[in-house]
Amino acid sequence: MKFVLLITLCSLQYKSCLPPLEGGFYKTWHECAKNGYEKSLSVINSIEPKLFNDNKYSLGFKCGELEDDQI
């Protein structure tokens, strides 16, 4: 079993979300979750604060299970 990380960036101002960003594949749920927080913070840090505030961005992530033959 492997896990895929999907990160979603949404604008609460415009009530819309971008398609999920793939954040990699992991051997364990723990690795996926840990990287979800780290990569989400990286996305936040890559967006200019005024733009982030004006658009009221919100980030979420999830780890999806994959069978070994799916990747």
Query: Residues near 4 by Cβ (< 8 Å), separated by ≥ 6?
Result: 22, 23, 24, 25, 26, 32, 63, 64, 66, 71
In this prediction, residue 70 carries a pLDDT of 63
In 10 A of CB 63, how many CB atoms?
20
pLDDT, tens digit, 9 for 90 and up, residues 2-54: 999 999 999 999 999 999 999 999 999 999 999 999 999 999 999 999 999 99
Delimit the domains of the chain by residue range.
Answer: 2-66
Judged against a pLDDT cut of 90, whether residue 68 lies above it is answered with no
